[in-house]
Structures are given as structure tokens and as C-alpha cells.
Amino acid sequence: MGSRIHRQTAIYLSAILAVAALSACGEKKNVRSPQAPPATTNPNRVEEVPTGGGIDLPSPNLSPTPSPTPDPSVSEELIDPLEETAGYDPVDPKQIERTDLDKRYTGLEDDDGLFYTGSSTDYLLTYLRLRNDDVNLDDTIKTINKDAAQSIESARLNFDKSTGDLTISLKIREGNNVIKDYTLAGGVSEDSRVSSLRISKSKSRGKTTGRQRIEGKIKCLDLHGTCETSYARLLIGEPGDRAAVGIIFRQSLADYRIKLQSDRSGNPEYEFIRRFWLNTNDDIATHHRMKNIYLNSFEVVNGRSGFDVQVLGQGRQLLSFGGPLLAPDAGSSVSITADRTPRVTESLDLDSLNNYDYTMADYIGGAKIINNNGLGQVRIAVKMRKRGGFEQDTWVMTVMRIIKPTVTANEENLRMD
């Protein structure tokens, strides 16, 4: 790992070293947990940009506007968002533009100099990174574990709350740079928040194309008994020569803010989507409005991270956006093409995708991830598809995780008993 990632995370790592040390010794002092936000007093989550506004997505050959480069002669101390003086509100869309906040990092930098981040404000990811870098851990073991973590291209958790059944879908880059698929299965119950994971033999849950041995356990980490935040510890390889990899999964409802451009082309497809958001905002009794919006993510300790957003309508409309959780070392601005592959949070039954309405999704020509603050807020700029006689209207969506308290990050709470 290059020196830059260590430089960028040095402040917040040192800030909680004391917490990690106390936890390892059995100290039960609680780290301040983020609370679920109160009901929003201002219902207007949709706003129209003044005439001539809107965001025009950059062409694929253009680079995003660079974030200001900090003056190396000036020591800028970043603020932990959980500090009382930070003034951080996880459902305030303006927070995504702040440059003075500490992000949560996984520990991996991509080839373009961006850093993989977490997707919430808690210390779980940071604590697990510190534990993996324990000075008492053999350097060879550290290397094996990090290599295994960085071989995971993506991870997705599907959890059926009604039955407790769950699957984890992994894409792992193996020999000859080939990506293999793995599907692990397990289940949690009210009596046990820990589940064993084994490679699934059920083809209906997902196909496994790789030949590595993978097993492990997963544990729910929400403070009040739900399973929106969970931690999977995977063992990859044969006994005696195995790597240990940690992954944090987050699946939760989100708040949102939509910016619509008021200087419209008249494209009926844009007007259709615009009306969907206005109906939602004005609480109109119709099926053409939003039902729920979800923000799901994975964070591989010392590896990659990613997210997907699912907008579900009252009439079973489905919009999906996703991509890597990457951010610069200063600020939150990025320009990354978003994945629009349909995904559903509600069910493990993949055939249920056939029961959704993709009309609005078909009207969209492209989307870009333009901000990620590394704390559970992402911003996506959406452009309509080309249609003769009309300009390509745009709209912007800021998605903000509704954060619930998690258990304190310590050995006792992360033990997989």
C-alpha cells in the first residue's frame, strides 16, 4: 500500500487507537453510536434548479473537475463526523460537499489514485483494519490476508428478513486474472445473530464457478436486534493455508434529495420521471410515486467497497444505480459511470425481477456517480436517453443512509461464537 493512504488515514486511525486498545483488553466503554435521525420537518425533498440550471454530465473523455489540492505547508486537521462539534447530519444533503470531514477508508487505493471508502459513520471498518494490522500478527499472514481481500472484486448480501435466510454472492479474481463466482448460504434467527456460511449447492440461489474452498460466519451488528449492518469473516483456501477476510455489509432505508432542472426540453419521458418525484414530494395518492429507497453496500477490509441504490415505486417501478465507493483524498467529487443493472432488496427470489416495471429505467440514457463522502452519502447525476427533437434533460439524486446505532467495535462484540 502506498504511503498516501497511510497519510490520509493517519489522523482518524490514531484518534481511535485508544478505543481499539481498550476494547482488546475487555474495556466496555461505548463508542458514541450514531442515532436514527428524527422525522424530517421539511417534507420538500425535491427541488427544481433555476432556469438554465441542471447538471450536464461530462463526456466519457472528460475528467471530473479536480478537487482543490491542499497546500502541503498548511496542516489541515480533519474532523471526525461523530465529534459533537462536527455538526454532521447524515441526512443533510449539503454535508456531502464538506471537505473537512474524516472519511472511513477500507485501506485500498485504486489505479487512478482514488480511495475505497466505507458507507457509514461508525468505527467498525476502522477497528477491523487496525486489528488486521496488529504488530503482533506475522507479516506473512498479513500479506496473505490482504492479497485475498484485494482479490474480491465485489460482494453482495441478499437477506430475507421473513425467513432469516441469506446468501452472499462473491466475485473473486483468481489465477490468469479470471473472475470466478461464489455463492455462500446461511441463515440467522431470533435466537442467534450468528450464522455459519458454506458454499451453496442450490443453483436457484446462484452459481459457483470457482474451486477455492470458502467458509465462514456472519454476525448481525445492529444494537437493537435488527440486521441492517452485518460482519462476515471468511476463510479462503484449504486448512493450514487459509486467508481470513472481513466484509461489512449494510442494507438500510435511505433519505434522499432530488434536483430537477426547470429549463425543460418538453421530452415526455423526462416529464414522466419528473412527475414521479413531484408526486412523491407532494404525497399524492397515486401509484406513480416512490414507495421506498434503499442504500446497500459492502466494505472489504483492506479491499474494495461498493454500493447500490434501489428506488422502488408504489406501482413496482424499479430504478437501480450502483458502483464502487471511491473518493479523492480531498473532498468528495468523482466522475464514475454508474451501473444500472436491476437489483432488488426485498426478496431472495431473483425471478421477482420479472415482476417489476422498468419503464422509467428504460428512459434513462446514463448516470454518473459525482460525489461520495465516505460516510453514507452518495450523489448521482442522471441523463435521459436521446430522443429526436429533445435535449437530454438531467436530474440529480443525493442518497443518504438512515443510520441506526451499531454495537461498539471491540473483540467481545465481533466474536463469532
For residues 78-95, give the mean pLDDT: 96
User: pLDDT-based confidence at 270, cuts 50/70/90?
Assistant: very high
User: pLDDT-based confidence at 352, cuts 50/70/90?
Assistant: low
User: pLDDT-based confidence at 43, cuts 50/70/90?
Assistant: low
3-state percent helix, strand, coil for the chain, nearest multiple of 5: 20, 35, 45
**Between 28 and 164, whose confidence is greater?**
164
Distance of alpha carbon 66 from alpha carbon 334, whole angstroms:
8
For residues 225-239, give the mean pLDDT: 93
DSSP strand E in 76-150: where? 105-109, 115-117
pLDDT for residue 344: 74
- CA 212 → CA 146, 199, 314, 334, 348, distances in Å? 17, 10, 42, 35, 24
Range 164-202 burial, b when 16+ CB lie within 10 A, else e:
ebbbbbbbbeeeeeeebebbbbbbbeeeebbbebeebee
How open is the CA angle 350-236-113, to the nearest 5 degrees? 80
Task: Convert the pLDDT of each residue in 377-408 to its tens digit.
Answer: 999 999 999 999 999 999 999 999 999 999 99
Residue 112 CB neighbours (<10 A): 10
pLDDT for residue 77: 85
For residues 175-180, give the mean pLDDT: 92
User: pLDDT-based confidence at 353, cuts 50/70/90?
Assistant: low
**Complete edge-to-edge strand list for the sheet that includes strand 326-327:** 105-109, 115-117, 326-327
Helices 3-24 and 124-132, axial angle in degrees (round to 10)? 100
pLDDT for residue 401: 98
Are residues 357 and 313 in contact, defined by beta-carbon separation less than 8 angstroms?
A: yes
List own/partner pairs for 29-32 with CB under 8 A and 24 or more apart: 29/408, 30/408, 31/82, 31/122, 31/123, 31/408, 31/409, 32/82
Distance of alpha carbon 218 from alpha carbon 249, whole angstroms:
10
Distance of alpha carbon 171 from alpha carbon 181, whole angstroms:
5
pLDDT at residue 69 tops 90: no
For residues 350-375, give the mean pLDDT: 89
Backbone φ and ψ of 358, nearest 5°: -105, 20
> Lowest mean pLDDT: which of 67-71, 219-223, 260-264, 406-410?
67-71
pLDDT for residue 34: 38
- Is residue 323 within a helix (H) or strand (E), and if so which, with residue range? strand 318-324
Backbone φ and ψ of 414, nearest 5°: -100, 0
Closest residue by Cα to residue 124 from 326, 398, 376, 295: 376
- CA 153 → CA 165, 182, 231, 384, distances in Å? 24, 12, 17, 29
pLDDT at residue 58 tops 80: no
For residues 246-266, give the mean pLDDT: 96
Distance of alpha carbon 353 from alpha carbon 358, whole angstroms:
10
User: pLDDT-based confidence at 346, cuts 50/70/90?
Assistant: low
Distance of alpha carbon 2 from alpha carbon 311, whole angstroms:
37
Strands 243-261 and 46-49 turn out to be parallel
pLDDT for residue 60: 32
> Lowest mean pLDDT: which of 328-337, 348-357, 361-370?
348-357
Which cell numbers in the block locate residue 326?
471511491
Average pLDDT of the chain is: 84
pLDDT at residue 90 tops 90: yes
Which 8-state DSSP code applies to residue 26?
A: T
For residues 30-59, give the mean pLDDT: 47
pLDDT for residue 15: 42
pTM: 0.85
**Between 286 and 58, whose confidence is greater?**
286
